Structure 1
Amino acid sequence: MENQEYSVGLDIGTTKIVAIVGRRNAHGKIEILGVGKAKSLGVHKGIVNNISQTINSIKAAVAEAQSSAGVPIHKVTVGIAGKHIRSLQHSDYIMRENPDRFITDDDIEALKDQVKKLVMLPGEEIIHVLPQEYKVDSEGEIQEPVGMHGKRLEANFHVVVGQMGSIRNIARCVREAGLEMEALTLEPLASSEAVLTKEEKEAGVAIVDIGGGTTDIAIFKDNIIRHTCVIPYGGGIITEDIKEGCSIIEKHAEQLKVKFGSAVPELEKDSTFVTIPGLHGRPDKEISLKTLAQIINARVEEILEMVNTELKAYGAFEQKKKLIAGIVLTGGGSNLKHLRQLANYTTGFDSRIGFANEYIANDKNQYLKGPEFATSIGLLMESLKIRDKKTVAVEEEIEIEADTKVEQKEAQTNANAESQTQTTPQIEEEFKTPVQTSRPSKPTFGQSLMEKVKKFFEEVE
């Protein structure tokens, strides 16, 4: 199998690193070829804090993915998150040299390149330049300007910015793991590709991806990205709270959260307990599920309040910006029992859990159904989209080249025909030129009269 036939998404998370290999089938759905998963040892709150451990974790995940897929992995599309991520709104424009020609993708890329030259804070770098809506001359609210005519091309942009050091560290880890980074994508954007529908993006929706170290948010309205942010808290801090509150080790705290945890204490009974084995001969410890839920609830409410603050910052409670489709919860943290009910109560918006298997064609054992795979599947989808664009570009280039050859051939044929047309009349003219003969000309009246007079005098003599 050629490398061009498949793509790879690499999710470098705080708790796990996942590599997914896939390709698009004849029906447009994604066929998963292989999955690799490894514990993330060198990442904290979405930021690499141990290069060598992160490299080893990436190698382990990629090796497992290669083994299960049976193909070599060279290029990967990588996700980025972390508390250093911020976003801003920016408007910019270009004046087109030839307004008689219609606007092309090259004009839009030129406008994006101009935005990328914005001066950021020291140590920051632009990750994404996302057009929201365009304006051509005096016409505004244009979604797709390609094919239109105009002198001034203007657009509103959503610009995603991150710390240069964090970006360089991720790139170095990927490179030293023997891989080439095809693209770097903001994780909430990748997750939204995997779990949101076009109708939800049109109506207005917020995706809240609760990962191990961060909670990533992306807000869409009118099918346009409106707001992104990263909250530096996730499922890991809930585990830490359980560990401290119940005086148990982290391994047991994580198991308690996953198997028995709840976000709403009122739905748990006081009489229900779970037993935790003691360490090295120490007595077992009994923990009330209601107490466990109270510990979890305190931290989850704090995270949801931060989500609410971001929704208010966007203006989600205004009538024109209202999120009709509400909230979609995804990521490993969204597996927490009763989280959806608490989110509904805290934010006032209807919510659902976003599963990432809607676009997967061959997930028969439902292994990838869990929301914890939303980001990695979204990164795979982004990688496939990049490949599709490259394929289309190559096909267009081949088509243009073929058209050019046809035009050149036609021009040569026309030139030859014209040359023959210019030569033929000369030849025909040469053959059609009348041949001069020596036939005697008919004498005039004066000449006849003189002949008769001359003859008369000769006879008289």
Structure 2
Amino acid sequence: MENNKIAVGLDIGTTKIVAMIGRKNEYGKIEVLGIGKAKSLGVKRGVVNNITQTIQSIQQAVDEAQSVSGQKIENVVVGIAGQHIRSLHHSDYITREKSDEVIDEFDIENLVGQVHKLVMLPGEEIIHVLPQEFKVDSQPEIKEPIGMYGGRLEANFHVVVGQVSSIRNIGRCVKSAGLNLSDITLEPLASASAVLSQEEKEAGVALIDIGGGTTDLAIFKDGIIRHTAVIPFGGNVITEDIKEGCSIIEKQAELLKIKFGSAWPGENKETEIVSIPGLRGREPKEITLKNLSKIIHARVQEIIEHVYLEIKNYGHETQKGKLIAGIVLTGGGSQLQHLRQLVEYITGMDARIGYPNEHLAGDSDSVLSSPSYATAVGLLMEGLRKDIEVEEEVVENQPEVTAPINDALEEEILEEPVVEKEYKAKEKSKSIFEKFTEKFKEFLDNAE
């Protein structure tokens, strides 16, 4: 891949908006050229609730990334999350007319298209249809049915659903900030790309991304995404509890959480006290670290129990659904002291903190390997991966000429629509997300 191929990941979060611009180096690692960060003022629990403020925050983050990198940002890969995202499981089948012919991509397209016709709640739209495993006639647990013979093709699907208005609002903000939406990715999937290894995905792993406004869950088993969920609590509710419990302002509560916060109350002694300056000459407040950790512990426990309920709903306790690799914690909220120990205690599963540094070039700024940038790194990776696919497609579509040809033969070759055939074959195998992105861009253009 050439060094001038750059991509941009735009993470529109509840607490911060991050624009990360980068490219791949000669070793295939990501070299971050610039990063821009802005306070997110118009987003609550992953959903845009103030268009003007969100546009300003996006522009601020993008301008900062442009000035640091010296590159002009035009196209961005955006993550979607928020409490409006939900998932469901669905089984469907098609009966093939020509059972004496092998199953091809067209049959799978038909089956996926059938799932897209499912009737959703008003204002909801299917944004992702992920085949889990297939069944051909009476043969179950088939990962790849293409090339097999069979009359009935059946599959289990993981269907991700979101509110049309919420997704449209994000698209409007990106467009109004003067940017092109090149792709949309589910944020838990982006974070998973950045912090999970293929071995973990095969063995079975639950990724918990604790953000400012939401906690995202993605469960992988046998290398396939099995379950996704968005819990409408994050680091902000912990800060809110500290603010209320200690009668202090939000800024002080956030600093207390970051500097002295712990998810395990037993770690702090009654004698450990922190003094908070009073407002406008008032007396300073004294808060014991034990009380602080009790407030944090109560809320964190609630978040973990919500997530663990989702993990149990997926079927972790069954032999087939066992998550051997345990839990990986990422996102800004995962940096809370003793969180890993509390997660292990509540769930009984092994846990680790997920850092995105595995995919970053060796000379990258250490700040970038923080779990709070996992989603941005994942979105950047997605953008670079799309660039490689586009590049490969262009190369594959070039007709090869290995010997001199006469005029008559040249006319014959030019008449043969080689490129068009190749393009059609490629078009068939587009991912669901690419199709969704195309539909979504049309949707935005028509909405203007």
Quote how far apart the aligned CAs of 1:31 are: 1.7
After superposition, give the CA deviation of every residue in 1:210-240 in whole Å (9 maximum; x if it has no partner).
Answer: 0000000011111111111000000000000
Alignment-derived partner of residue 322 in structure 1: 322
Look at both structures and tell me which one has the larger radius of gyration over its CA atoms. 1
* Gap regions ≥5 residues in structure 2: 414-448
**Partners in 2 of 1:359 and 1:259 — Cα distance?**
28
After superposition, give the CA deviation of every residue in 1:35-73 in whole Å (9 maximum; x if it has no partner).
Answer: 111100000010100000000000111111122222211
Alignment-derived partner of residue 155 in structure 1: 155
Counterpart secondary structure, 2:329? strand
| TM-score of the aligned structures, taking structure 2 as reference length | 0.86
Counterpart secondary structure, 1:160? strand
Query: 1:65–1:402: structure 2 CA closer, same or farther, 3 Å change rule?
Result: farther
Query: 1:342–1:393: structure 2 CA closer, same or farther, 3 Å change rule?
Result: same
Counterpart secondary structure, 1:291? helix
Judge which range, 297-306 or 127-136, deviates more: 127-136
What is the correspondence of 1:433-444 to structure 2 with a 5 Å cutoff? none
Counterpart secondary structure, 1:7? strand
Counterpart secondary structure, 1:162? strand
Query: 1:302–1:363: structure 2 CA closer, same or farther, 3 Å change rule?
Result: farther
Alignment-derived partner of residue 438 in structure 2: none
Are residues 1:30 and 2:40 paired? no
**Partners in 2 of 1:368 and 1:395 — Cα distance?**
33
Alignment-derived partner of residue 121 in structure 1: 121
Q: Which amino acid aligns with 1:63?
A: D
Counterpart secondary structure, 2:162? strand
**Partners in 2 of 1:154 and 1:36 — Cα distance?**
46
Query: 1:391–1:271: structure 2 CA closer, same or farther, 3 Å change rule?
Result: same
Counterpart secondary structure, 1:225? strand
Q: Which amino acid aligns with 2:170?
A: I
Query: 1:219–1:147: structure 2 CA closer, same or farther, 3 Å change rule?
Result: same
Are residues 1:51 and 2:51 paired? yes
**Partners in 2 of 1:382 and 1:287 — Cα distance?**
45
* Gap regions ≥5 residues in structure 1: 414-461
Quote how far apart the aligned CAs of 1:106 are: 5.1
Q: Which amino acid aligns with 2:345?
A: Y
What is the correspondence of 1:333-348 to structure 2 with a 5 Å cutoff? 333-348=333-348
**Partners in 1 of 2:29 and 2:94 — Cα distance?**
38
Alignment-derived partner of residue 21 in structure 2: 21
Alignment-derived partner of residue 421 in structure 2: none
Q: Which amino acid aligns with 2:223?
A: N
**Partners in 2 of 1:148 and 1:265 — Cα distance?**
58
Kept after mapping to 1: 8 A contact 2:3/2:25:
no
Query: 1:272–1:48: structure 2 CA closer, same or farther, 3 Å change rule?
Result: same
Q: Which amino acid aligns with 1:309?
A: L
Counterpart secondary structure, 1:373? helix
What is the correspondence of 1:119-198 to structure 2 with a 5 Å cutoff? 119-148=119-148, 150=150, 152-198=152-198
Query: 1:311–1:285: structure 2 CA closer, same or farther, 3 Å change rule?
Result: same
Quote how far apart the aligned CAs of 1:311 are: 1.2
Quote how far apart the aligned CAs of 1:243 are: 0.5
Are residues 1:266 and 2:266 paired? yes
What is the correspondence of 1:331-370 to structure 2 with a 5 Å cutoff? 331-370=331-370
Quote how far apart the aligned CAs of 1:79 are: 0.9
Quote how far apart the aligned CAs of 1:90 are: 1.8
Q: What count of residue pairs does the alignment treat as equivalent? A: 411
**Partners in 1 of 2:294 and 2:310 — Cα distance?**
25
**Partners in 1 of 2:257 and 2:58 — Cα distance?**
26
Query: 1:96–1:380: structure 2 CA closer, same or farther, 3 Å change rule?
Result: farther
Quote how far apart the aligned CAs of 1:332 are: 0.2
After superposition, give the CA deviation of every residue in 1:327-372 in whole Å (9 maximum; x if it has no partner).
Answer: 1011000000000000011111110000011111145331111100
What is the correspondence of 1:375-386 to structure 2 with a 5 Å cutoff? 375-386=375-386
Counterpart secondary structure, 1:368? helix
Query: 1:309–1:364: structure 2 CA closer, same or farther, 3 Å change rule?
Result: same
Query: 1:346–1:412: structure 2 CA closer, same or farther, 3 Å change rule?
Result: closer
**Partners in 1 of 2:169 and 2:3 — Cα distance?**
26
Alignment-derived partner of residue 241 in structure 1: 241
After superposition, give the CA deviation of every residue in 1:58-108 in whole Å (9 maximum; x if it has no partner).
Answer: 011111112222221111111111111110112234456766765555554
Alignment-derived partner of residue 430 in structure 1: none
**Partners in 2 of 1:381 and 1:202 — Cα distance?**
20
Q: Which amino acid aligns with 2:398?
A: I
Q: Which amino acid aligns with 1:282?
A: R
Alignment-derived partner of residue 218 in structure 2: 218
Q: Which amino acid aligns with 2:113?
A: D
**Partners in 1 of 2:405 and 2:139 — Cα distance?**
39
Counterpart secondary structure, 1:357? helix
Quote how far apart the aligned CAs of 1:119 are: 1.8
Are residues 1:207 and 2:207 paired? yes
**Partners in 1 of 2:144 and 2:401 — Cα distance?**
28
Query: 1:394–1:155: structure 2 CA closer, same or farther, 3 Å change rule?
Result: farther
| TM-score of the aligned structures, taking structure 1 as reference length | 0.83
Kept after mapping to 2: 8 A contact 1:357/1:363:
no
Judge which range, 68-77 or 339-348, deviates more: 68-77
**Partners in 2 of 1:110 and 1:392 — Cα distance?**
26
Kept after mapping to 1: 8 A contact 2:32/2:364:
no
Query: 1:406–1:19: structure 2 CA closer, same or farther, 3 Å change rule?
Result: farther
Kept after mapping to 2: 8 A contact 1:330/1:355:
yes
**Partners in 1 of 2:111 and 2:6 — Cα distance?**
31
**Partners in 2 of 1:146 and 1:316 — Cα distance?**
30
Quote how far apart the aligned CAs of 1:151 are: 5.2
Alignment-derived partner of residue 285 in structure 2: 285
Alignment-derived partner of residue 445 in structure 1: none
Alignment-derived partner of residue 299 in structure 1: 299
Query: 1:103–1:67: structure 2 CA closer, same or farther, 3 Å change rule?
Result: farther
